[in-house]
């Protein structure tokens, strides 16, 4: 309740504590204030609908980017349009030509890699299984040398093998050889494809396998090989494969080693047969016209230089001997 004169809040007394005026209805001489007249009735008319609930307007939102209304979907009029078909990959020979070239390139790289491993893998030979009861016959190239006479050359010593047979017509006399003496033997090598050891012993000279060989270090010219027979024989033809005749993809033993270029065959009675040898990995033979002998000496007169190229070997090899004749 407030004072009608000054508007100050009234207390519990009869006078306004602010302006001192008597409070109507509390003082005997001041009647109470008449009540306010009633409010006039509201004019007749249609009912007033209250405004809808007010939501925050954009002006009431904090500053920042205003949200945008989602795009309105456009509904096409007419029959539905099917989605575009995915692109088809061409088939047949024209499909992905790069893939074909990639496969061919990879195959070429593998072939070259295998060849390099075989050639540069550390080994230079490989072993070949053979049947000891069968002696192959290499192709022969007759030599143009004829028989001469000279003194027997000195012999050398080496491990020997023995064998004897009955007398018969002219044939291969390898089974009659009792001992083969060589001036030396190179150390064993390694099979480049399997890792197995490969030896170069004197026994390989008469084993019937031209892919094996006897081999000695360096230049063997001036040395001799002596063949001792188990019984006297009459020779009609002698010869040899004058290098390492073995070859396979990535390796050519004939080209990578030295080869014998000339030899001299000497029998017990002093008969000598000179033989010049060509650069040919086939068996090269020369005829012999002499009587019986129990020994045959093969003198190595000259050899070629070491093998060509960075992989060339400084060895003198002979792959096989030809000893044809008859026994007494």
Tell me which of 45 and 230 has the higher pLDDT: 230
Query: CB under 8 Å to 14, separation ≥6 — which residues?
Result: 22, 23, 26, 27
What's the pLDDT tens digit per position in 12-54? 777 788 887 887 777 666 666 666 666 666 666 666 676 666 6
Burial of 62 (0-12, 13-18, 19+ CB in 10 A): exposed
What's the pLDDT tens digit per position in 274-319? 999 999 999 999 999 988 999 999 999 999 999 988 889 999 999 9
Q: Is the pLDDT of residue 71 over 60?
A: no
The full set of domain ranges for the chain reads 1-31, 140-327
Nearest to 295 by CA among 233, 248, 220: 233
Q: Is the pTM of this model over 0.95?
A: no
Average pLDDT of the segment spanning 1-20: 79
What's the pLDDT tens digit per position in 157-203? 333 333 333 445 779 999 999 999 999 999 999 878 788 899 999 99
Sheet strands (E) in the chain? 140-142, 147-149, 171-172, 177-181, 189-190, 197-198, 214-217, 224-241, 247-248, 251-252, 260-267, 271-276, 283-287, 292-303, 315-318, 320-327
Identify the pLDDT of residue 130.
37
Average pLDDT over all residues of the chain: 76
DSSP reduced 3-state for 62: coil
Average pLDDT of the segment spanning 103-115: 77
Which pLDDT band holds residue 148 (cuts at 50, 70, 90)? Answer: very low
DSSP reduced 3-state for 210: coil
Both tokens assigned to 134: 């069968």
Nearest to 208 by CA among 322, 54, 311: 322
Identify the pLDDT of residue 135.
44
Burial of 71 (0-12, 13-18, 19+ CB in 10 A): exposed
307-314 — which CB contacts under 8 Å span 24+ positions? 307/255, 307/256, 307/257, 307/258, 308/255, 308/256, 309/256, 311/119, 311/120, 311/124, 311/256, 312/256, 312/257, 313/124, 313/256, 313/257, 313/258, 314/217, 314/218, 314/219, 314/258
Rounded-to-integer distance, Cα 30 and Cα 295, Å: 176
Q: Which CATH superfamily does the domain covering 140-327 fall into?
A: Galactose-binding domain-like (2.60.120.260)
- Percent of the chain scoring above 90 in pLDDT: 42
- Percent of the chain scoring above 70 in pLDDT: 61
Q: Is the pLDDT of residue 222 over 80?
A: yes
Query: CB under 8 Å to 239, separation ≥6 — which residues?
Result: 140, 143, 275, 283, 284, 285, 286, 321, 322
């Amino acid at each position: 309740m407030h004072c009608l004169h000054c508007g100050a809040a009234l207390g519990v007394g009869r006078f306004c504590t602010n302006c001192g005026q008597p409070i109507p209805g509390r003082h005997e001489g001041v009647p109470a204030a008449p009540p306010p007249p009633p409010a006039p009735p509201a004019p007749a008319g249609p009912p007033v609908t209250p405004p809808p609930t007010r939501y925050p307007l954009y002006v009431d939102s904090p500053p920042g980017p205003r949200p945008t209304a989602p795009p309105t979907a456009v509904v096409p009029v007419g029959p539905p349009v099917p989605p575009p078909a995915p692109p088809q990959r061409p088939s047949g020979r024209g499909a992905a030509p790069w893939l074909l070239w990639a496969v061919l390139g990879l195959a070429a790289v593998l072939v070259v890699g295998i060849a390099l491993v075989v050639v540069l893998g550390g080994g230079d030979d490989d072993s070949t299984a053979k049947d000891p009861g069968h002696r192959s016959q290499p192709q022969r190239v007759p030599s143009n040398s004829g028989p001469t006479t000279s003194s027997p050359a000195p012999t050398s010593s080496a491990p020997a093998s023995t064998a004897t047979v009955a007398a018969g017509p002219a044939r291969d006399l390898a089974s009659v050889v009792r001992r083969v003496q060589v001036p030396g033997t190179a150390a064993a090598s390694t099979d480049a494809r399997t890792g197995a050891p490969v030896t170069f012993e004197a026994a390989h000279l008469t084993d019937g396998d031209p892919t094996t060989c006897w081999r000695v270090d360096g230049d063997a010219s001036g040395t001799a090989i002596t063949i001792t027979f188990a019984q006297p024989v009459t020779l009609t033809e002698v010869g040899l494969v004058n290098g390492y005749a073995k070859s396979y993809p990535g390796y050519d033993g004939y080209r990578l080693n030295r080869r014998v270029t000339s030899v001299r065959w000497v029998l017990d009675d002093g008969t000598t047969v000179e033989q010049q040898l060509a650069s040919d990995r086939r068996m090269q033979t020369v005829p012999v016209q002499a009587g019986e002998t129990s020994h045959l000496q093969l003198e190595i007169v000259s050899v070629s230089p070491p093998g060509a190229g960075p992989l060339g070997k400084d060895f003198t090899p002979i792959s096989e001997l030809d000893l044809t004749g008859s026994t007494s």
